[in-house]
Amino acid sequence: MSKRRFGLALSLVLAAGTVLGACGSDKEDNKGSDKGSSSDGGNASEFSVGMVTDVGGIDDKSFNQSAWKGIQEFGEENSLKKGDKGFDYLQSQSDADYTTNLNALARRDFNLIFGVGFLMEDAIDTIAQQQKDTEFAIIDGVVEQPNVASVLFKEQEGAYLAGVAAALMTKSDKIGFVGGMEIPVIERFEVGFLAGVKAVKPEIKVDVQYTGAFDKAELGKAAANRMYSSGVDIIFHAAGGTGNGVFSEAKERKTADKDAYVWVIGVDSDQYDEGQVGDDNVTLTSMLKRVDNAVNDIAKLSQDGKFPGGETKVYGLHDEGVALADSRGAIPEDVLAEIEKYDKKISDGEIEVPGEK
């Protein structure tokens, strides 16, 4: 795969320590701080950005972590500090926290507040109407309010490449997909993955299982156990923290039998480290969803007075909104060359990947 795609993963790995080390939140209600005017293109010292996680948490090695990485990078680029008048996040323990956390950040006078995840649509819709002077952005959802930017991704395009990789690398011709909740964004992962597999080996039937949760590693582990036991040798997960259980099952099998041919394709962030088993690794590759790029982009637009309120921005393979991570040698060069062919065809518009069932 070209350095343009696979080189993206290296920065994610280098940033992992920073992300994990930055956990924590300041829930203090600071009503007295002065908001910078993002609509006037305020300078860095006048601009602040906050984020509310979904239930997967800030260190989910996936979606939330990638979003927080983008905010941290924006903060570093603009000499902002963590906390009020800079950048910060609040973590949601359940969906009941969404509205409370969004409102708390708005009352602390953050100029721009991100809500991470489709499940936050109603909460952002409600708070955006109450806090009309605050700009909000929702990741993976659409909220039609003038002070809300909606951010979507063409997950199906990156998942298609993951499917191509799985189909080219499987030995058993049995492949699995573990999803979190059956919602449109996860279904885009599934549909794209199935299309990629079919493009290479139409005869392969993919075992698809949904766990119904993004924060239940035990459910991911149970699903992976059933799949690997049935002969599946590669599983692509799109399940957030639940996917950690898929890695756990694969690593247990690799520990028990060093020659076991079991692989996991990670999601959202580069999950190479998650697959480490001694000197071995069970991560075949990861489908990168560059939430960090999108978050950084929206923050810059807001800071420059160009906030796309009321609009929906979609990031795909062409603009590096999605990609495959460097396989670190797990995928042979000849297979990478084949994947790159599909990559180019999608980017050039020769292949249109379906996004709905």
- Domains of the chain (ranges, CATH numbers): 3-153+291-315 (3.40.50.2300), 155-289+327-347 (3.40.50.2300)
The stretch 149-166 carries a mean pLDDT of 98
Range 209-226 average pLDDT: 97
Stretch 174-195: mean pLDDT: 96
For the sheet containing 312-315, what is the strand order?
Answer: 87-90, 49-52, 112-116, 135-139, 148-153, 312-315
User: Using 50, 70 and 90 to split pLDDT, how confident is the model at 45?
Assistant: low
Spatial neighbors of 304 by CB under 8 A, at least 6 apart, are: 41
Distances from the Cα of 195 to the Cα of 20, 41, 84, 290, angstroms: 35, 43, 45, 21
* pLDDT interval class at 2 (50, 70, 90): very low
Q: How far is CA 340 from CA 136, 245, 346, in A?
A: 36, 30, 10
Provide CB contacts within 8 A for 205, sequence distance 6+: none
Residue 7 main-chain phi, psi, to 5 deg:
-65, -20
pLDDT score of 337 more than 50? yes
33/86 Cα distance (integer angstroms): 11
Q: What are the tokens at 297?
A: 């982009």
Q: Is the pLDDT of residue 89 over 80?
A: yes
Segment among 27-36, 96-105, 110-119, 158-167 with least mean pLDDT: 27-36
Quick check: 228 pLDDT over 80? yes
Reported as a pLDDT band with limits 50, 70 and 90, residue 43 is: very low
Confidence class for position 62, pLDDT limits 50, 70, 90: confident
On the 0-12 / 13-18 / 19+ scale of CB atoms within 10 A, 35 is middle
Does residue 26 register a pLDDT over 60? no
Tens-digit pLDDT profile for residues 259-305: 999 999 999 889 999 999 999 999 999 999 999 999 999 999 999 99
**Interval 97-131: pLDDT, tens:** 999 999 999 999 999 999 999 899 999 999 999 99
- Residues 115, 53: contact at Cβ < 8 Å? no
Contact present, 68 and 90 (Cβ < 8 Å): no
Q: Phi and psi dihedrals of 84, rounded to 5?
A: -60, 145
Supply angle C-alpha 324, 179, 316, rounded to 5: 35
**What's the pLDDT at 68?**
95
